[in-house]
Amino acid sequence: MDNIHARRGGTAFTTRVMQSNLRPVVLFIAFATELWSFLCCFRLVSDDNVDEVPGLKNAALALGVLYAVAAVIQQFGLFAVSSRRLNLVRIYAYGSILTALCVLAGSLAQIIIHFTQKNALLNACTKDNTGDTVFYSWGIWGPVSSTTLDQADAAQWCNDAWDRGSWRNIISFFIQLCVAAFFLFLIFGYYKQLQDPSSVAYAFRSRNQFPLGGYPQQQYVGFPPPQGPPPGPYGQGSDQPFVPPYDSAKLPAYDGPGPKFGDTKGGDGLLKGGDGDPFGDYRGDAGRSDRR
C-alpha cells in the first residue's frame, strides 16, 4: 500500500508540474547554472595557492575548463529557451546532460585530489599559516580574542580544516548530484511540453511562430474541425444544395400553369394584348367605349 500511495503521489506531482509552463523555471536554471559555473571557473583559475602543491595547478586548469564548458552550454540554453524553438531546445536539453557530467566530474575530481594530495595540502597550509594571527569569537555578541599560530598550532588548525573539508566535499557532491537530476527533469519536461499540443508552453510557442493568427490545426486539440469539405462563399455551405450563379441578364423562368412570361405562342402574348395579356379586357372595354 505504501508503494501504491508513493507511486500515486509521484504521478500527481509529475502531472502538476507538466501542466504548468516550465519556461520561466528553465530560464532561471540556465542563468543560475551559468553564473555558478563561471564563479567556480574563476575561483580555480585565479587561486594562487595551487602553485605551492606540485601538479595542483594543472588540475585546477582542467577543472576550470570543465566549468567553462558548462557555463557556455547554459549560455546557449538561455538563447534557446528564450527563442522557444524546438530544435534549439532539443540541443540544449541534451547539452544539459553534458553540463551535469562536467559539474559532477569536477566535484568528484576535487574529492580525489583532496584525499590523494593530503600531505601536500597540509604541508602547504601549515607553511602559509605559521606566524599568522587567528581571531576567535565567542558567540554572536561575545568577546573576540586573537592568537599567533606557531608551527604546531598551524598544523593542528590545518588538520581540523582538512577534516571539515572532507565532509564538505562529499556532501557537496551528493547535493550537486540531486540538483543536477532535478534540473534535468525540468529541462526535459519543458522540451516535452513544446512537443505536446495540449500544453501551455506549446500554445506560447505557436503564438510566437504564428504571430498573425496562422495557428496550426494541432493547436485546437479540444475542438476538432467539422466533418466534410470546408465552407465556400456565403450561401454555399457544405450542407446546402448547389445553387447556380446568378445572371442579371437572364430573366427568371416561371414553372406554373398557363403561358410563361414573354411567350408569344397561342395568342398575341403580353406585348400584343392577346389572351395571354392579363390587362386585355380592360383595354378592350376602353376601345369599345371609344368607338361608341
Whole-number pLDDT of residue 272? 47
Whole-number pLDDT of residue 232? 59
Residue 41 has pLDDT above 50, yes or no: yes
pLDDT tens digits, residue range 173-216?
999 999 999 999 999 999 988 887 766 555 555 455 544 444 45
Q: What share of the chain in percent tops pLDDT 90?
A: 33
- Neighbouring CB atoms inside 10 A of 143's CB total 8
DSSP string computed for 256-269: SSSPPTT--TTSSH
- DSSP single-letter state for residue 290: H
Q: How open is the CA angle 36-42-45, to the nearest 5 degrees? A: 140
Evaluate whether residue 100 is within a structural domain. Answer: yes
Please classify residue 273 by burial: count the beta carbons closer than 10 Å to its beta carbon, then call 0-12 exposed, 13-18 middle and 19+ buried.
middle
Whole-number pLDDT of residue 211? 47
All three cell numbers of 25, joined, read 523555471
Q: How confident is the model at residue 278 (pLDDT cuts 50, 70, 90)?
A: low
Whole-number pLDDT of residue 6? 45
Evaluate whether residue 243 is within a structural domain. Answer: no
Pick the more confident residue, 11 or 269.
11
Evaluate whether residue 178 is within a structural domain. Answer: yes
Q: Say if pTM beats, i.e. exceeds, 0.75.
A: no
Residue 39 has pLDDT above 90, yes or no: yes
4-13, 50-59, 133-142, 179-188: range with lowest mean pLDDT: 4-13
Whole-number pLDDT of residue 259? 56
Q: What share of the chain in percent tops pLDDT 70?
A: 57
Evaluate whether residue 245 is within a structural domain. Answer: no
Distance, in Å, from the CA atom of 205 to the CA atom of 196, rounded to the nearest integer, reads 11
The tally of domains found in the chain comes to 1
- Domain of residue 215: give its range: 2-120+169-219
Evaluate whether residue 189 is within a structural domain. Answer: yes
Question: What is the number of H-type helices and E-type strands within the chain?
Answer: 9, 2
pLDDT tens digits, residue range 99-123?
999 999 999 999 999 999 889 888 8
First-last CA distance in the chain = 119
Whole-number pLDDT of residue 226? 64
Q: How confident is the model at residue 21 (pLDDT cuts 50, 70, 90)?
A: confident
Residue 28 has pLDDT above 70, yes or no: yes
Evaluate whether residue 287 is within a structural domain. Answer: no
Residue 289 has pLDDT above 70, yes or no: no
pLDDT tens digits, residue range 47-82?
777 777 777 888 889 999 999 999 999 999 999 999
Whole-number pLDDT of residue 233? 56
135-144, 191-200, 278-287: range with lowest mean pLDDT: 278-287
Evaluate whether residue 260 is within a structural domain. Answer: no
Pick the more confident residue, 171 or 201.
171
Evaluate whether residue 237 is within a structural domain. Answer: no
